[in-house]
Structure 1
């Protein structure tokens, strides 16, 4: 019989994780937030205490609870509010591009297109 960690290694998508742990989910929530949910889940795992000494049954229970918590974070909030990824942490989730940079970039692309 495969160990818990071996079974986890076979999971590759957010849907795989939700199905493996038997967690109900709304498809639209998962489609929009899949990477955010998984990243938050792994953040929770890194902070969790006692996992290194837990048996497979306890690991399953704790992982399931942490994944459920990560999913719920995005049911009631948005990626911009949760700031899981650096792009949302920098400048409150907004990026600033100067108009002059856009104008220069467009001019360069036009020159390249005419040269080709």
Structure 2
């Protein structure tokens, strides 16, 4: 295995990560596996929401890494403090409480053929 002289930047490495655990490992963030097992997609979605608000242009690699680490730590902390249902990061969960008086479509089993 050979390495180039300049290792890939953290943003490039994060873009290639394939699991929540890999994000935590790349950024050096400690986590409780049972929390990640329940809320992995929610944590990554929340981190993405924080990430979308960031501007990295002109920032040095150590600063980018520190800011990414802080975003993941905050996203993780959101789900340590409360559940995915309470945080509602996904559209389906937001819509479930958006209008409690909205009628829900109901199709009885007898109508299915």
TM-score > 0.5 by shorter chain: yes
Structure 1 residues 91 and 53: CA distance shift in structure 2, 3 A: same
Q: Say whether residues 1:11 and 2:17 are aligned partners.
A: yes
Which residue of the partner structure matches residue 67 of structure 1?
Answer: 72
- Specify the SS of the correspondent of 1:107: helix
Secondary structure of 2:28's counterpart equals coil
TM-aligned CA deviation for residue 83 of structure 1: 1.3
**RMSD over aligned Cα atoms:** 2.1
Q: CA shift at 1:28, angstroms? A: 0.9
Number of residue equivalences: 105
Q: Residue 52 of structure 2: which of 30, 46, 49 is its match?
A: 46
Relative contact order, CA 8 A, sep 6+: which one is greater? 2
Q: Between Structure 1 and Structure 2, whose CA radius of gyration is higher?
A: 1
- Gap regions ≥5 residues in structure 1: 112-116
C-alpha distance in structure 1 between counterparts of 2:16 and 2:7, whole Å: 11
| Structure 1 consecutive aligned stretches of length 4 or more whose deviation exceeds 3 Å | 93-99
Paired position in structure 2 for 1:37: 43
| Cα offset, 1:91, TM superposition | 3.1
